A and B are shown apart, each in its own frame.
Chain A
Amino acid sequence: MTSSFLRKLRILFSSIVLICFFFVFADFMSVIPEKYINSLLYLQFVPSALKYINLTTMAAGGFIIVLLLTLLTGRTYCSFLCPLGIGQDLFSRIGGRIKRKFRRFGYKKPHTIIRYSLLVLTLGTAIFYGLYLVTLLDPYSIFGRFMTYLGEPVILLINNFLTWLLGKFDVYTLHHVDIRGFNPMTYAVPVAFFLLVGTMSFVKGRLYCNMICPVGTLLGLISKVSIFRVKFSESKCTRCGRCSVRCKASCIDFLNYNIDVSRCVNCFNCIDVCPEKALSYSFIASKEKPANTDEGRRKFVAGSLLMLLGITTSARNQDQEGAPVPRKESTVKEPRNFPVCPPGAGSMEEFTKYCTACSLCINACPNNVLQPAVMQYGIAGFMQPVMDYHRSFCTFNCTVCTEICPTNALKPLLLEAKKLTQLGKVFFIKDNCIVKTEKTACGACSEACPTKAVYMVPYEGNLVIPETNQDICIGCGHCEYACPVTPYKAIFVDGNPVHMAAAKPEIKEAEITTPEEFPF
């Protein structure tokens, strides 16, 4: 095909994809059903591959489709399906509008050493150590973090402004959502990447995709044997070079009629711009094909360039917005052993192995109990979601996070199963409790408990004091959240490193019966 149809198709398709991704992450009211989110995420390469490794079912085979698509058509994924890639095209376009220089690309040599080193390093660490680099470099996860950490606050700001405006007219259809932010440490990675990817795309088109992105590099390798690709018709070409100038990937060496397919992202701008229609996207076959010798294949040396941003140990940030101030401060520090990982995680070990910190669950959690970890899971688990019961608690009737996880780090749980999954166990610290220290009634913890694993027993005089039954505790953290004592809580949940099954609460008939007469 030589028409500009392909480019238009690409722009239309990718716009729809980007808008869908935008809404999935902007959906702070959880109105989009999980199944739509799942189908949108199905083709995301890294999450799908991880899910496949985890599950080995074809239901998680989105990445295989992407591999086949790449074998057939080249790096279509990068321009049509990757939200980070499409986002970069948008940035690049804005850059080009602002400065002429930023829309003139021209042929550049590939960053062979850097890109293959990064690919090898990423794969190597993933196989031998853990997901660190995958988490850091997976384009979908990077996009997810941009939206969660940087996009969402802006969306909420707009929402809150509109809410305020409508409120003036006595309209309550929208509602205010507090912008509470996360631990400041966790902003380092998304901000650094936003600057990196943002600047690179603003100035140099798809440089990030062709230098750093390991998915881009991997698909680029496969593209080298793809069946369809962009080709020159030497007879028609006048060597005007317009194609090369327009090429965001800087991969068209028009003087040699050569296109570096490993870097071509199938944006089809070149086909569109060529006045002679000398470029076409077509079946490989045909005549001359100078086997694009990529010198890099031999320079396959792993160079280590870890750019982890000086992450130092930092204490768990327990912010206490609007927390009440009791008369006395509590004295006993909660003896915590393990963080609480989200429902569906199974175990901390399994969970941290498959989570790429894309933040979708953090974004989707209606209660904001999921927070990016700082050091709770150790350095490897930086930014993976962890339950923060000082901030909120896990809603009893909710399984959203387990249903949308694209890597299956959180496995789907039926609501009935979730209600009996013990994420952690409750511990009561009597010496911190209001009932003991102030000799006044409280019971906020027991009130909040959905299974009555926390219940009240007679204490001095007319007072009652909490007691716990760990067997039926599911570790939802509502008691800990509700406990009004500061700085340490009088009741807390310690995580189960391996999630367990909670016993069902015992059910007894009520002793009080239906009255026949008014008792007054």
Chain B
Amino acid sequence: MRRREFFRKSVGAGIAAGAAFSIGGYNKLWAAGTSPEKYDMVAIMGGEPDAMFDLGIQELGGMGTFIRKGQKVLVKPNIGWDVVPELAANTNPNLVKRIIEHCFRAGAKEVYVFDHTCDNWVNTYKNSGIEKAAKAAGAKVVPGNTENYYQEIEIPTAVKLKKAKVHELIMETDVFINVPILKDHNSTRMTACLKNMMGVVWDRGYWHSNDLHQCIADYALFEKKPVLNIIDCYNVMVKHGPQGVSKEDVVQMKSQIITSDWVAGDAAAAKMLSIDPRRVDYIPIAHKMGLGNMNLESLNIKRIKM
């Protein structure tokens, strides 16, 4: 970011924040606001991950719209790779932290965080910064490294993925919030909401060897669906994904997409990477299966620039 740009943006953000404080008061950011209009998606640009989420969730009526008091909540970020946050292979820890805080504000009894990592899980939880951030917000960080944490489920209407083993937290929590990070992907072209579900199952290899795109779409049939998908597009890995090699793979987009429709979320996210969603096979497959709407024109989208 150039200096001038930085000034312009920070002044803008300052005004926005100031306005938010003076008009609604800071507490309103937390409160279950009364939104006159119902949006299918909120997209925010130009702020820090946590500030963008504050604004976005307010537009959707606050976290209280999605969580009832006393519920157990699972927040599932992408914690796939043993790299530092700057390399954007894992969800931004500050975003994860702020989401957990909102959950507790909304009365969540317990918030859990886990992922079935690709790299060594102990190092990955640590170096991603997510373990620390989540614990600081009061969440329980749970391992996903061994098979005994996973329970067999059936997806009878699936085409390929008729059975899977999912993490016990998927089954034992009341509310599920999906927090992927948008990334380039060598094989599926992009990864965000739907593909983040590869981190809740034990046997990813089955997906890879049995028509990956179909399996990704199939999983979305499973009854435990996320109430919210919060796509972290703050730092975006635009090549060498999903793991990345260097910081040159990352572009700072300072954006965020929040939606209950994960197919729509993926379609919007694909466009952030200048990819036609129709070219990401699992998106049209999931759309045809009625799992969401990839036609963004027909959706009511709230766009916010900070």
| Chain B stretch 92-125: residues in CB contact (< 8 A) with chain A | 110, 118-120, 122-123
Interface-centre pick from B1, B209, B214 (highest chain A CB count, 10 A) = B209
| Chain B stretch 118-142: residues in CB contact (< 8 A) with chain A | 118-120, 122-123, 127, 140-142
| Chain A positions within 8 Å of B296 at CB level | 520
| Chain B positions within 8 Å of A438 at CB level | 209-211
Contact digits for B269-289, partner A, Cβ 8 Å, 1 yes 0 no: 001111000010100000000
Q: Which of B122, B141, B204 contacts A366 (CB 8 A)?
A: B122
A314 CB-CB contact with B under 8 Å: no
Number of B interface residues in the complex (CB < 8 A): 62
The answer to whether A395 and B301 touch (CB under 8 A), given A324-B205, A507-B245, is no
Q: Which of B147, B251, B279 contacts A510 (CB 8 A)?
A: B251
| Distance A496 CA – B119 CA, assembled complex (angstroms) | 24
| Distance A518 CA – B271 CA, assembled complex (angstroms) | 9
The answer to whether A324 and B209 touch (CB under 8 A), given A172-B141, A449-B243, A520-B301, is yes
| Chain A positions within 8 Å of B252 at CB level | 514
A68 CB-CB contact with B under 8 Å: no
Report the number of A-B residue pairs with Cβ-Cβ less than 8 Å: 154
B148 CB-CB contact with A under 8 Å: yes
B248 CB-CB contact with A under 8 Å: yes
Q: Which of A178, A441, A510, A514 contacts B212 (CB 8 A)?
A: A441
A452 CB-CB contact with B under 8 Å: yes
Q: Which of A323, A396, A441, A451 contacts B82 (CB 8 A)?
A: A396
Q: Does A513 lie within 8 Å of B248, measured CB to CB? A: no
B45 CB-CB contact with A under 8 Å: yes
| Distance A443 CA – B212 CA, assembled complex (angstroms) | 9
The smallest C-beta distance from A473 to any residue of chain B, in angstroms, reads 13
Contact digits for A481-512, partner B, Cβ 8 Å, 1 yes 0 no: 01011000000000000000000010111111
Q: Does B238 lie within 8 Å of A324, measured CB to CB? A: no
Where chain A touches its partner, the secondary structure class is loop
The answer to whether A398 and B208 touch (CB under 8 A), given A450-B243, A450-B245, A519-B274, is no
The smallest C-beta distance from B154 to any residue of chain A, in angstroms, reads 17
Q: Does B146 lie within 8 Å of A176, measured CB to CB? A: yes
Q: Does B210 lie within 8 Å of A456, measured CB to CB? A: no
Q: Does B272 lie within 8 Å of A519, measured CB to CB? A: yes
| Chain B positions within 8 Å of A79 at CB level | none
Interface-centre pick from B205, B238, B255 (highest chain A CB count, 10 A) = B205
Name the residue of chain A whose CB is nearest to the CB of B249.
A510
Q: Does A456 lie within 8 Å of B209, measured CB to CB? A: no
The answer to whether A440 and B212 touch (CB under 8 A), given A170-B110, A176-B149, A505-B245, is yes
| Distance A504 CA – B224 CA, assembled complex (angstroms) | 44
Q: Which of A177, A434, A515 contacts B272 (CB 8 A)?
A: A515
Where chain B touches its partner, the secondary structure class is mixed
| Chain A stretch 317-357: residues in CB contact (< 8 A) with chain B | 322-327
| Distance A510 CA – B236 CA, assembled complex (angstroms) | 11
Name the residue of chain A whose CB is nearest to the CB of B142.
A172
Q: Does B272 lie within 8 Å of A484, measured CB to CB? A: no
Chain A interface size, as a band, is: 35 or more
B170 CB-CB contact with A under 8 Å: no
| Chain A positions within 8 Å of B251 at CB level | 510, 512-514
Contact digits for B190-233, partner A, Cβ 8 Å, 1 yes 0 no: 00000000000011111011111110000000000000000000
Q: Does A510 lie within 8 Å of B239, measured CB to CB? A: yes
Q: Which of B20-28, B29-37, B181-189 has 4 or more CB atoms under 8 Å from chain A?
A: B181-189
The smallest C-beta distance from A468 to any residue of chain B, in angstroms, reads 13
The smallest C-beta distance from B229 to any residue of chain A, in angstroms, reads 15
Q: Does B146 lie within 8 Å of A397, measured CB to CB? A: no
The residues of A with any CB-CB pair to B shorter than 8 Å are: 29-30, 170, 172, 175-178, 322-327, 366-367, 395-398, 434, 438, 440-444, 446-452, 455-456, 462, 464, 482, 484-485, 505, 507-515, 518-520
The residues of B with any CB-CB pair to A shorter than 8 Å are: 1, 43, 45, 82, 110, 118-120, 122-123, 127, 140-143, 145-149, 185-188, 202-206, 208-214, 238-240, 242-243, 245-246, 248-255, 267-268, 271-274, 279, 281, 296, 301, 303
Known: A30-B122, A441-B211, A512-B274. 8 other contacts (CB 8 A): A396-B82, A396-B119, A397-B123, A443-B187, A446-B186, A448-B118, A510-B239, A520-B271
Chain A to chain B: the 8 pairs with minimum beta-carbon distance, closest first: A443-B187, A324-B205, A326-B209, A484-B205, A484-B209, A175-B143, A440-B211, A324-B206
